Amino acid sequence: MIDINLIRNDLEAVKENIRKKFQDRKLSLVDEVIELDKKKRALQSEGDSLRAQRNALSRQIGELMKQKKTEEANAVKATVTANNARLEVIGKEQEEIETQLKKDMMSIPNIIAPEVPIGKDDSENVERERFLEPKVPAFEVPYHTDILERLSGIDIDSARRTSGQGFYYLTGDIARLHSAVLAYARDFMIGKGFTYCIPPFMIRSEVVSGVMSFEEMDGMMYKIEGEDLYLIGTSEHSMIGRFMNTIVDEKSLPLTLTSYSPCFRKEKGSHGIEERGIYRIHQFEKQEMIVICKPEESRDWFEKLYHYTVELFVSMEIPVRTLECCSGDLADLKYRSIDVEAWSPRQKKYFEVGSCSNLTDAQARRLGIRYKSEKGNVFAHTLNNTVVAPPRMLIAFVENHLREDGSVYIPEVLRPYMGGISEIRPKK
Q: Which pairing describes strands 336-344 and 408-409: parallel, antiparallel, or unpaired?
A: unpaired
Distances (CA, A) of 205 to 152, 281, 305: 40, 23, 28
DSSP string, 228-288: S-EE-SSHHHHHHHTTTTEEE-GGGPSEEEEEEEEEE---TTSS---SS-SSS-SEEEEEE
d(CA 199, CA 233): 12
Domain co-membership, 50 together with 142: no
CA triplet 50, 55, 56: central angle to 5 degrees?
Answer: 95
Quote the pLDDT of residue 345: 96
Looking at 107, 141, 165, the residue that finishes a domain is: 107
Number of domains in the chain: 2
Domain co-membership, 325 together with 257: yes
Domain co-membership, 100 together with 126: no
| Residue 32 maps to a domain | yes
Query: What residues pair up with 192 in beta bridges, in sequence order?
Result: none
Q: Could you give the percent of the chain with pLDDT greater than 90?
A: 82
Question: Which H or E run includes 354?
Answer: strand 349-358
d(CA 153, CA 426): 9
Domain co-membership, 128 together with 263: yes
**Residues whose CB is less than 8 angstroms from the CB of residue 171 and which lie 6 or more positions away in sequence, other chains included:** 152, 153, 154, 155
Domain co-membership, 142 together with 9: no
Quote the pLDDT of residue 209: 87
Domain co-membership, 101 together with 172: no
The residue ranges of DSSP E strands in 42-101, in sequence order, are none
| Residue 114 maps to a domain | no
Q: What is the largest CA-CA distance in the chain?
A: 107
Domain co-membership, 310 together with 245: yes
Residue pair 190/235 in contact (Cβ under 8 Å)? The answer is: no
| Residue 112 maps to a domain | no
Residue pair 41/5 in contact (Cβ under 8 Å)? The answer is: no
| Residue 113 maps to a domain | no
Give the CATH number for residue 24. 1.10.287.40
Can you say how many angstroms the Cα of residue 395 is from the centroid of all Cα atoms in its chain?
A: 24
Looking at 107, 130, 159, the residue that finishes a domain is: 107
d(CA 182, CA 306): 17
Domain co-membership, 127 together with 8: no
DSSP string, 8-29: HH-HHHHHHHHHHTT-GGGHHH
Quote the pLDDT of residue 279: 83
Quote the pLDDT of residue 393: 93
d(CA 178, CA 165): 20
Boundaries of domain holding 369? 122-424
Domain co-membership, 264 together with 295: yes
In eight-state DSSP terms, residue 402 is B
Domain co-membership, 150 together with 15: no
Looking at 81, 107, 133, the residue that finishes a domain is: 107
| Residue 161 maps to a domain | yes
Give the CATH number for residue 302. 3.30.930.10
| Residue 173 maps to a domain | yes
pLDDT digits (tens, 9 = 90+) for 9-37: 999 999 999 999 999 999 999 999 999 99
Domain co-membership, 266 together with 148: yes
Sign of the CA dihedral with 364 first, then 367, 372, and 374 last: positive
| Measured torsion, CA atoms of residues 173, 177, 183, 186, in degrees rounded to the nearest 10 | -170
Q: Which pairing describes strands 369-373 and 246-248: parallel, antiparallel, or unpaired?
A: parallel
| Residue 165 maps to a domain | yes
Domain co-membership, 97 together with 147: no
Counting as low any pLDDT under 50, the low residues of the chain are 269
Distances (CA, A) of 209 to 32, 103, 263, 291, 333: 21, 10, 17, 19, 11
